[in-house]
Amino acid sequence: MALRNHSTMTEFLLLGLPADHPSQALLFVFFLVIYLLTLSGNLLMILVIRANSHLHTPMYFFLSHLSFLDLCYSSVTVPKMLENLLSEKKTISVEDCLTQAFFVFDSGGTEICLLAAMAYDRYAAICHPLRYSQMMSDQLCVGLVWGSWGLAFLDALINTLLAWNLDLCETRVISNFLCEIPSLFPLSCSNSSNNFAVLLCSALLHAFGTFLLLFYSYVRIVSTILSISSTSGRSKAFSTCSSHLTSVTLFYASGILRYLMPTSGSPWEVVFSMQYSVVTPLVNPLVYSLKNKEVKAGLKNMLQKSVHLFWRLPCFLLGYREHIQDG
């Protein structure tokens, strides 16, 4: 019987984290802090970019979308993990599991496309500075963002619909803290080779297609940087790419390894899933803010405006109250 009509299989057990109560309490506090920091960091990054007109460039346009995506990515995975850390059952319904698997796949696919678009932006800025505004037009930037979301959505939809039709056995334990499409294959009594083949093809096309763009962009970037005679010029050019390279390394390494490795209940599956779904959304705003003078200047400017408004608000309210009384 297909998964969507299965009468006995209604939920899965997520057993990817320690089961003893002291560890669960500590992990709950730890991941709650991470989640709150992730939300605040990415939301602050979006607000800083929106509030400062000098940050309204293609690079920060992509970065604001990356921050929004990290907000979504973290919210897809961490709340359910926090719920299970406080629960005795640690279950997730079949429908919720497939929904989570869809959004995890969709968010991950969108992120690697955005990272590739950001690499092309750095290539245009460093290798063709005089033609930068023509190469990175507003229409192209918007098209790259919508294309990233659309391609990842289609990819996730195809793989999730195929997973929906799997025949499940009685074993319902997922050795992870979240639902991912590869985690469902060992639970199937039917032949899942077609599902795996489609997943492998889509992962290879999606991941390595964007990786080729990344690789080409950075080969040209490195070649251009090495041709710069000034040491300070080379350092400045490289600093504009270091934050992006950090994000690419963190996300690509763990994401590709997770979706290409066979699902066998290995602890590495949890490590890789944790890396790209929990750690990377936390680290991205820190990397781009701590190593970027323009973002730090924008943050300082926004905080100064907020403090100024905070101090003027009581005076405004007091004056308004006196005006009402005099009237």
Q: What pLDDT shows up at residue 140?
A: 93
Residue 185: both structure tokens together? 């294959």
Q: Which residue carries 């998964």 as its tokens?
A: 3
Q: What pLDDT shows up at residue 16?
A: 74
Q: What pLDDT shows up at residue 320?
A: 43
Average pLDDT, whole number, for the chain?
81
* Lowest pLDDT segment from 15-24, 58-67, 116-125, 270-279: 15-24
Q: What pLDDT shows up at residue 69?
A: 92
Q: Which residue carries 């990415």 as its tokens?
A: 42
Q: What pLDDT shows up at residue 4?
A: 47
* Distance of alpha carbon 151 from alpha carbon 300, whole angstroms: 37
**Top-ranked range on mean pLDDT: pick from 159-163, 256-260, 283-287:** 159-163
Predicted confidence band of residue 321 (pLDDT cuts 50, 70, 90): very low
Q: What pLDDT shows up at residue 43?
A: 92
Identify the CA nearest to 191 among candidates 156, 167, 162.
167
Predicted confidence band of residue 6 (pLDDT cuts 50, 70, 90): very low
Each residue's pLDDT tens digit, 208-232: 788 888 889 889 988 888 887 777 7
Q: Output the CA–CA distances (angstroms, integers) from residue 106 to 62, 73, 115, 157, in the order listed.
A: 17, 9, 14, 8
How close are the terminal C-alpha atoms of the chain, in Å? Answer: 77
Each residue's pLDDT tens digit, 121-134: 989 988 888 899 89
pLDDT at 106 over 70: yes
Q: What pLDDT shows up at residue 51?
A: 82
